[in-house]
Each structure stands twice: as structure tokens, then as C-alpha cells.
A and B are shown apart, each in its own frame.
Chain A
Amino acid sequence: MEEFRELLDDCVHCGFCLPTCPTYALWGEEMDSPRGRIHLMDQLERGGPLTDSTVEHVDRCLGCMACVTACPSGVRYDRLIELTRARVEEDHPRSRGERLLREMIFAVFPYPRRLRALRGPLRAYRRLPVDLGPLLERVSPTLAAMERLAPPAARHVRLPERVAARGERRAVVGMLTGCVQREFFPGVNAATARVLAMEGCDVVIPKGQGCCGALSLHSGRAEEAKAFAREVIEAFADVDVVVVNAAGCGSAMKDYGAVLAGDPEWAGRAAALSARTRDLAEFLAELGPRATRHPLDLTVAYHDACHLAHAQGVRAQPRRLLGDIPGLEVREVAEPELCCGSAGVYNLLQPEAAGELGDRKAANVAATGADLLVAANPGCTLQITTALRRRGRELPVAHTAEVLDASIRGIGKESFLSRR
């Protein structure tokens, strides 16, 4: 494949990516660094065998794209790993157990209704008088990880198909509700819609919208991802801007142009949708504030989600939005570029590495001494909360949208935190 060769040749082997790579930070091995993985990909491209060990190093990559940020030569590692993962899925036979797990994950997570169906059993399981965790760990570390990460079931919130702007209308925006976001963090979607409306936007929330395909895309399930992408493009055909509040989803949608580039029927529409996609913080910063911000006396630690900071380059906007709230202080988390280990379904498929990274992130978050953690990706929220709990630390977590919502509506600190 010509594209692949060209992408590989951009790497000059300088090593600037090493310290920002989570797996290199963990193990210090060349083949678990971006530079080493590119070397492995190069060997494959030159006809080398796709061995179990090479697959392992590809699987261990979190796809956090910190290396893309760090690279002075502009290597598109994100594309390289995506193409390599697709090849692994095609050419590498996985064990029966592994296959089953992957099938199960991809049969559940991209489907909000199936996720919702899980909540009842999950609630019942949580009420059991015995802790089945250790047993689950023996049967399947992935299932055990899933159980640990699952948040307490939240009440389902049904959003209307259209929320009208408050005051004079400034924009009409589409809103992606997501899968995990919608089912496990319905409050975030409600807050997002309210903030957009209070800032003068008509918010269109198409009913039939499905999964954006991020999980599939980042796991080498290229065809599945394309099918999801086409549906999302269709659902948002009529809006000027699509606002996304989950970092992983936004990053995938901004990639639609590349994902469907080879499909003449869809390439144009895909590129157009990518160009119309905005992260919530990015969009609000472009729009400029209009609604009054009421004081919120809080110290918050802001966590850079990889798919926001590295994949979309959105770092300054959420910090500014938060910092502009009177009384609110934003604190930086040490090693901000390092992934928390959530990385889509990584914490389910590689629970051990993900756990270590989660612990490292939780320690850095705890060290800020903040009252609240702000993160803009549901995966990160689940991952860091779980890791903090392991340290015996309960720290409330909120999405940028929820903090803005509380400030604009004038909900005070106590009442805001008590709902976390």
C-alpha cells in the first residue's frame, strides 16, 4: 500500500515520541514505543511475518496519539496504527476466548439500547450480599475490569429532538449524544443541551443517531466503523455544526473524511461532516460567552483527554472556559500528556497496563488537592474515578459542560457538589 509506505518514511527515528508514550513510560522497551512500533510496521510492510509478539505490541498501543503531538516530523502515527490494526484484524487469527470477548464488547458498547438493557442486571449484581469480583477476575480479567469500571446506574434522561435557543438565536447546532455518554452520563448530555441553548443556540438532537464508530475505528474494525460513520453523516445532514461532548467521538468524526476517502459515494459528504464537527469547548470558545457566569467557588483539576488534546488539539479552550468562571481556580495535573489508560476499550482488553496507568494518573490528580476533577470524555471519567477509588479517594468528577451549566444557572458549590 503506497500510502502506508509514505507514512512510514516520514519517521526519522529521532525518539522524541518515547517519553510521551504511556507504554514506554511503563516498560521502557523500544518495541512498546511509537518509534519501535513504526519499526515493526516497517518490517511488516517489507514482507516480514505478522507474529504473535508483533500483534501483542500493536494491541498494547493505547492509540492516545501523544506521540503525534510530540513528533517534530509530522508522522501520522494515528493513521499508521489504524491501518495496522485493520491488517491485524484481517490476517491474525485470535484465540477463541479473545474473539468472544471482542465480539461481546462490540456487540454491546456501540448500541445505547443494549447498554441500557445491562443496567438492570448490573444494579441487581451490585445489590448482591457477596463480592463476586475475585471470582470474576479468575474467569476473565476483562469482565472483571468491566464490572469495576461500570458506574452506578443513572436515571435515564430523555432529551427532546429540539431545544430552543434562549434569547436571540446565534446558531443552529446538531448534538451527538453518544453511547456510553448517553447511557451512563445522561446528566452531561442534558447540561450540554442547556449550556448551548443558554448561549443562544437552537440544539437539534436527531432521534435516530447511532454510534459514531470511534471504538470500532480505533480497534481495527474498519468496515464496521464505516457503516457507523455513514449513519451519523446521514443523521446530521441538515445542520451547520455538529457539537460533540465526548472527546473520542469528536476525534473519530473529524476523521470521517479519511475513513471514507476510498468510497466515492461518501467521500465528499464525509469530509464535509468532519469539517463541521466541533468539540463542545472548541465551539463555545469560537462562539464567545453571552450568558452570565455566576460564581462557583471551586478548585478543579482539569484532565486532558487524549482524544481532545492530542487528536483534536483542544487544550486551551476548556481551560479558558473554566477559568473565566468567577471564583473557580483551574489546577494543572502533572504529566498532562500521559494517557489515563482508558483509551476506548483498552482498559477492557489490556486491564493490567490500563490499571497501572490509571493509578499513575490518579496519583497526579490527587496531588493537585482539587475539589473536583473535570474531564471531557466518559471513558476517562470512569477510568480515573475507579483508580481514585482504589487509592481510597472519592473525588467528584464532572464534565466541562456540567460545570458551565452550574455556573450559568447559578447553582452554588455545595448544591453542585452534592449532586456528584
Chain B
Amino acid sequence: MALLDALAARLRQIVGAENVISDPAELATYDCDGLTYHRATPGVVVLPDTAEQIAAIVRACADAGVPYVARGSGTGLSGGALPRTDGVLIVTSRMRRVLDVDAANQRAVVEPGVINLDVTRAARPYGYYFAPDPSSQQVCSIGGNVAENSGGAHCLKYGFTVNHVLACEVVTPDGEIVELTEGPGYDLLGAFVGSEGTLGITTKVTVRLTRLPESVRTLLAGFDSMERAGAAVSAIIADGVVPAAIEMMDALSIEAAEAAVSCGYPPGAGAVLIVELDGPASEVDAQFERVKELCAEAFELRVAADDVERGLIWRGRKSAFAAVGRISPDYIVQDGVIPRTMLPQVLARIDAISRERGVRVANVFHAGDGNLHPLVLFDGSEAGAGERAEEVSGRIIDLCIEHGGSITGEHGVGIDKAKHMPRMFTGEDLDTMQMVRCAFDPAGLCNPGKIYPTPRLCGEVPGRRRGVHPLVESGKADLF
């Protein structure tokens, strides 16, 4: 603790005493992000205002050999910003200036603490917006989006955060401020976006702005079963239509959303589909008619007449995670991916597991790209319920892997899914990934303990590894 106290004194010199938190009750409020299952009270919290301050903080941590974790709005769902009790939490929530909106060149420059939706708010007067739209877009930060390569409902057509970041100013783990850009040479920007805070801390992001579409049309379709809704999704994609979004919700998640925001979805629906098309009016109109035909099995079709109605349809979907709090005291938000065609089989298996274990599962997903978000419900005050839910949640991830999918679509691996990584990758795969990490962070102080189940090479616990790494042995890599 003496080590941390000494470091805290240095941090106070860097950012001023009022921007360093060391009161135990205050520190505890930072003990988790949007995933409350994992908690750790940080050793020290620091609230910098500039890139130079972050660089100085990182250098101070490096000198002291103390680990550090960056955090934006603290809304992540994989525990990527879970603090270290023996480390420093660097919070970027005060770095929230929109520095430039350059509409002519379709770009904006923002600080990492800027809220996702605020980029769109700043760009909208010029006829542009920021396309990645995680459900938490009204609160999540751009820095967090970059770290997690966040997705959202409209990523089906527009891609993830990585497709909308043109450059990042980054403080590297050795305390240097560098600029990573798109361009010739290795795609370091591509490596950095989605690295879950393990390769450095972004301090300035140049994002791509997208032209607001001429026309947006939104359809809400009520089906009596998930199978029928799933069949409609496959039919739409097979027809060659690329909707901006196709979202599906099952009866349980509809119930939650209805309780939370009274979104007025078709009563009695076993599943709803939200299909949104955007683009040039003539194209959208033609395709919209086609989509309606392909949703013929729906018992109710509702078309949003205006932005207010569209907003209400989306509100139900976007508040679904938190809304589940209305029907269950606790829940785990799962995030997995499967090939779209496996949807019916996987849903049936999830249903079987849910019945077998007596654990309710609500399903919300980005149906267009096979990204599932099962919500596993439990009551933490009931003995063993948390463990049972955790088991069901894990089995759902196993299902995704079995069916050729992935353990995460957009929430990241973080601390929560590190244990699943060996199910998807071999030891050699993981070692190779860690070689990249070591190139950026040889001391292993930058958000250690995330993504990888066990420390290797430049490990979080140096010297634990026995023997020579196979990649080093074969001459493919060097150990820094």
C-alpha cells in the first residue's frame, strides 16, 4: 500500500489533488462497470484532463511498476474496465470535448470521454451522424467504443467502430503520445481498435461521419413464434436486401421492455422483428415493400409513421437489457455469435437448457448478423441461483462455439470471457496474440488480467512461465 500511496502523491502533482480519489467510499463507487458480477475497488482513481496528463500518469505507473486500467463511462458488459485493487484507474469522463466537426471531409475529432450520441448531436446540424450505435449510445464513451470495437443494431449494414475510426492519438504503455492512422504500412490502428484497453489509452479519436440517409423506414412485425420470425430474417437476407438493422426479441424480453418504457409492441407476440431500411428514398421504398411481403407470416405489421413512432419502437429494443431489471432482480447479459442459419437450432437448444436448469432466459439479438444476447435471469438472494445462471450462461457460449460461432460479438472478452478463450483458440493462438500485446506493453501493466485466461510471455506475473515459448523456439518471435 505504501507503493500506491507514494504513487498517489505523484499523481496529485500531475493532475492536482482534487482530481485524485483515494477516499475508500468514493473509490468503491468505481468497483465495477456495467457488469456487476465482477467487482474490485481500485487502489487509486485519477481523473485527467489532457493527453499529456495521461502520458505522465502512465509513466508514473511504469516507474512504480503499478498496473493501470482505463475507464470511460463504465458501461462495458464484459468487465473490460474492471479495476485492479493494486492499481490505478484512469477515468476519461472529464475529457469530453468535441474538438472539431469537419463536415466537408466527413470527420470529427473528439476526446475519449465524449458520449457516443453526442458525436451524432454535434454532426446532425451538418447532415451527418456517427453510425456505430451500441444500445448504451446515450451514455457510453467513444474511448470505450474504440477499446471494445463496439457494435450496435445498425452494424449489420455499416460495420463496427473500427470501420468508423480514421485515427487515434494514443498514450502507449511507455508513456509516449503517438498517432495511429489509416494508411500504408501495418494497420496498427486496426490492431488498436478492439484491443480492450490492453495496448494503450486513446486520448483523441478522429471518427468518420456518415451522411444522414435520405429516407429511413422502420417496420415492427409481431410473430407468434421465434421460428417464424427467424425464418423471415433468413428470407430477407436471402433476397439480397441489406437492411440497416434487423433486431429480434422474444416474449420475455418484450415483457420487460413493455414494463420499462411502454413501447406498445403487438400484444401476445412470441417474437417481434424490427427491420429498418435506410438510403435513397426510391430504393428504400421498393425494398420496404419486398420486406413486408417476406414478413407475411407475421400476425401484425406496423410501420413507423414518423420519427416519434420510430423512436418508440427502438426505445423498447435499446432499453431491453436494463429493462430486464423490471422482471428479475439479477441477470447476466450474454453475447455470442452464430452463423445466421443456425438460429433455429441454437434457440431450441437454449430453450432446452433453460427448461432443464429451471433458469429463465430472455433473448434479444441482432438477428441480421447472428449476434445473440441471451439474458440469463436469476435472483441473487436465492442460494445457488447465481451459480446456476453462470452455468447456463456458459453453456450458451459452448453452444455458440459448437455451431461454428464466437464467444463474443461486440461486448468484448474482458475479464468475464477470458476463461472461454481456450475453447475457441489453441495455446499457440493465444500465445501469438500475446506476442502482439507484448510488443506494445512488455511490462504487462496496461489493463492486465483481461482477454487472456493465464499470463504468458510478458506475463502479468513475470517468471511464472516455464521453458521457452514455442514461437520463440521456432524463431518466429522474439521475447522483449
Taken together as a complex, chains A and B put the C-alpha atoms of A9 and B324 apart, in Å, by 13
Does B47 belong to the interface (CB within 8 Å)?
Answer: yes
Taken together as a complex, chains A and B put the C-alpha atoms of A12 and B37 apart, in Å, by 11
Interface string of B94-111 (1 = CB under 8 A from A): 101000000000000000
Does A14 belong to the interface (CB within 8 Å)?
Answer: yes
Does B32 belong to the interface (CB within 8 Å)?
Answer: yes
Taken together as a complex, chains A and B put the C-alpha atoms of A39 and B261 apart, in Å, by 24
Across the interface, A51 reaches (CB within 8 A) one of B25, B74, B322, namely B25
Contact flag A19-B139 (CB < 8 Å), given A31-B29, A40-B29, A43-B28: yes
The residue of chain A having its C-beta at the shortest distance from the C-beta of B261 within the complex is: A72
Q: Verify B36–A48 contact, CB threshold 8 A.
A: no
Interface string of A155-193 (1 = CB under 8 A from B): 000000000000000000000000000000000000000
Does A18 belong to the interface (CB within 8 Å)?
Answer: yes
In angstroms, how far is the closest chain A Cβ from the Cβ of B382?
A: 13
Does A98 belong to the interface (CB within 8 Å)?
Answer: no
Does B130 belong to the interface (CB within 8 Å)?
Answer: no
Does A53 belong to the interface (CB within 8 Å)?
Answer: yes
Interface size of A in residues (CB-CB distance below 8 Å): 31
Contact flag A29-B93 (CB < 8 Å), given A19-B138, A43-B28, A72-B261: yes
Does B392 belong to the interface (CB within 8 Å)?
Answer: no
Which residues between 6 and 41 of chain B lie within 8 Å of chain A, taking CB atoms?
Answer: 21, 23, 25-26, 28-34, 36
Does A263 belong to the interface (CB within 8 Å)?
Answer: no
Q: In the assembled complex, which residues on chain A have CB atoms less than 8 Å from the CB atom of B93?
A: 28-30
Task: Give the interface SS of chain B, mostly helix, strand, loop or mixed.
Answer: loop
Does A10 belong to the interface (CB within 8 Å)?
Answer: yes
Taken together as a complex, chains A and B put the C-alpha atoms of A27 and B19 apart, in Å, by 10
Across the interface, B138 reaches (CB within 8 A) one of A16, A35, A36, A40, namely A16
In angstroms, how far is the closest chain B Cβ from the Cβ of A224?
A: 28
Does B115 belong to the interface (CB within 8 Å)?
Answer: yes
In angstroms, how far is the closest chain A Cβ from the Cβ of B73?
A: 6
Q: In the assembled complex, which residues on chain A have CB atoms less than 8 Å from the CB atom of B32?
A: 13
Question: Which of A11, A40, A43, A74 is packed against the most chain B CB atoms within 10 Å?
Answer: A74
The residue of chain A having its C-beta at the shortest distance from the C-beta of B28 within the complex is: A43
Q: In the assembled complex, which residues on chain B have CB atoms less than 8 Å from the CB atom of A48?
A: 25
Q: Verify A54–B25 contact, CB threshold 8 A.
A: yes
Across the interface, B113 reaches (CB within 8 A) one of A10, A28, A72, namely A28
Q: In the assembled complex, which residues on chain B have CB atoms less than 8 Å from the CB atom of A35?
A: 29
Does B459 belong to the interface (CB within 8 Å)?
Answer: no
Q: In the assembled complex, which residues on chain A have CB atoms less than 8 Å from the CB atom of B23?
A: 51, 53
In angstroms, how far is the closest chain A Cβ from the Cβ of B228?
A: 28
In angstroms, how far is the closest chain B Cβ from the Cβ of A353?
A: 14
Q: Verify B25–A14 contact, CB threshold 8 A.
A: no
Q: Verify B29–A30 contact, CB threshold 8 A.
A: yes
Q: In the assembled complex, which residues on chain A have CB atoms less than 8 Å from the CB atom of B322?
A: 12, 14, 16, 71-73
Across the interface, A72 reaches (CB within 8 A) one of B25, B30, B325, B329, namely B325
Does A15 belong to the interface (CB within 8 Å)?
Answer: yes
Q: In the assembled complex, which residues on chain B have CB atoms less than 8 Å from the CB atom of A30?
A: 26, 29-30, 74, 91, 93
Taken together as a complex, chains A and B put the C-alpha atoms of A71 and B261 apart, in Å, by 10
Taken together as a complex, chains A and B put the C-alpha atoms of A323 and B282 apart, in Å, by 35
Q: Which 4 A-B pairs have the closest CB atoms?
A: A73-B325, A72-B322, A72-B319, A28-B93
Can you list 18 A-B contacts with CB-CB less than 8 angstroms, sorted by A residue number? A10-B325, A14-B322, A16-B139, A18-B139, A19-B115, A19-B138, A28-B96, A28-B113, A29-B47, A30-B29, A30-B93, A31-B26, A39-B28, A48-B25, A51-B25, A72-B261, A73-B325, A74-B260
| New A-B contacts (11) at CB < 8 Å, excluding given A14-B34, A28-B93, A51-B25 | A15-B75, A15-B139, A16-B319, A29-B93, A30-B26, A30-B74, A31-B26, A39-B31, A40-B29, A48-B25, A74-B326
